[in-house]
Amino acid sequence: MTTTLARPAAPIVPVPLAEAAPETPSLPEAPVGRERGAVSPSEWRRPHVRFGLGLTQVVLLALLVVAGLGPMLLLAKFAVTPTQDILSTPLAVFPNGIEWGNLDQAWNRVHVSQYFLNTIWLAVGSWAVQVIVATTGGYVLSVLRPAYGKVIQWLVLATMFVPAVVLLVPLYLIILHPPLLGHSLINSFWAVWLPSGASAFNVLLVSRFFDSLPKEVFEAARVDGAGNLRLFWSVLLPMSKPILGVVSIFAIISSWKDFLWPLLVLKDPNIQPLSVRLPAIAGTTDLGVFLAALAIATLIPIGLFLAFQNHFLNGAGFSGAVKG
């Protein structure tokens, strides 16, 4: 069970389309305030059930807090603990006071600020490329439907059968010697941005969504004389906000997590993102400062998550609906 689950890129699974396609252009949301699960409300009132089930739920909550929140709290604590204390008594509560300097050192001396910025740049660029490819591609496959559309669709789907590992070496060599361009893309953000767009999952997600849009709107626009561009820009995109939200969240999260690929193609420390840089300086950075750097690296993903919880959780659940 790896974190790849949260980013279902290139799994070898043909996604069964069509069945259970939502009729409306909104995402299936977990019904809020569902009246019941397997246990009925009347059963809840029985003391046995209340106690037993309630207890298991409390235990579950405790476990979730310890397992889910615990490591993060520890990280936050270590980020401001002097290194000696971390080494000798890691779980003691600040026996020698708080060391705020760790954060300052991490941000400035270890230049976490720079890698942070690089990570953001990578995420923004990848997001843009993915959105452009998925929306235009989905538009062509789902709305415009040229004769060659089926071929493209099959080719795109075929890539979902291919595990990412197969691309590793040849893609690296293509980045070294790209067709058309005269020089390598190594050490350029483009080496990360462009390949990220080749996500069959995104294209599929978006085209399914477009399929579910009511055709009447398009017909009406056509009748009004809208060309392809106008149809795309003024009619389709505004209706696509939900799916763009899902795609965006996946894109940003998966870019933030990306490790092996940036490791291979971004060799210049100045443009490396956090995920590549942090392991590289682990051996030469003071432990307290290093943990402070780790803490800083988690801030944005966690912050985004807390702010947009619903989107995350619904998006994650939606991906399950797509697969199931």
Q: Contacts with other proteins in 53-72 (CB under 8 A)? A: 53, 56-57, 60-61, 64-65, 67-69, 71-72
Among 80, 103, 253, 292, binds other proteins (CB under 8 A): 253
Among 82, 274, 288, 292, binds other proteins (CB under 8 A): 274
Q: Work out the angle at residue 109's Cα, subtended by the Cα atoms of residues 75 and 293, and round it to the nearest 5 degrees.
A: 15
Residue 47 binds other proteins (CB under 8 A)? no
Among 98, 237, 280, 307, binds other proteins (CB under 8 A): 280
Q: Which two tokens stand for residue 100?
A: 């705020």
Residue 114 binds other proteins (CB under 8 A)? no
Size, binding site for other proteins by CB under 8 A: 158
Contacts of 27 (CB under 8 A, 6+ apart): 242, 246, 314, 315, 318
Q: Contacts with other proteins in 143-172 (CB under 8 A)? A: 143-146, 150, 152-157, 159, 161-172
Min dist. Cβ of residue 244 to other proteins (A):
15
Q: Crossing angle for the helix pair 287-307 and 274-281, nearest 10 degrees?
A: 160
Q: How many angstroms separate the CA atoms of 230 and 248, rounded?
A: 23
Among 25, 101, 245, 317, binds other proteins (CB under 8 A): 317
What is the DSSP annotation of 201-223? HHHHHHHHHHHTS-HHHHHHHHH
Residue 101 binds other proteins (CB under 8 A)? no
DSSP conformational letter for 141: I
Residue 247 binds other proteins (CB under 8 A)? no
Residue 219 binds other proteins (CB under 8 A)? yes
Q: How many angstroms separate the CA atoms of 121 and 134, rounded?
A: 20
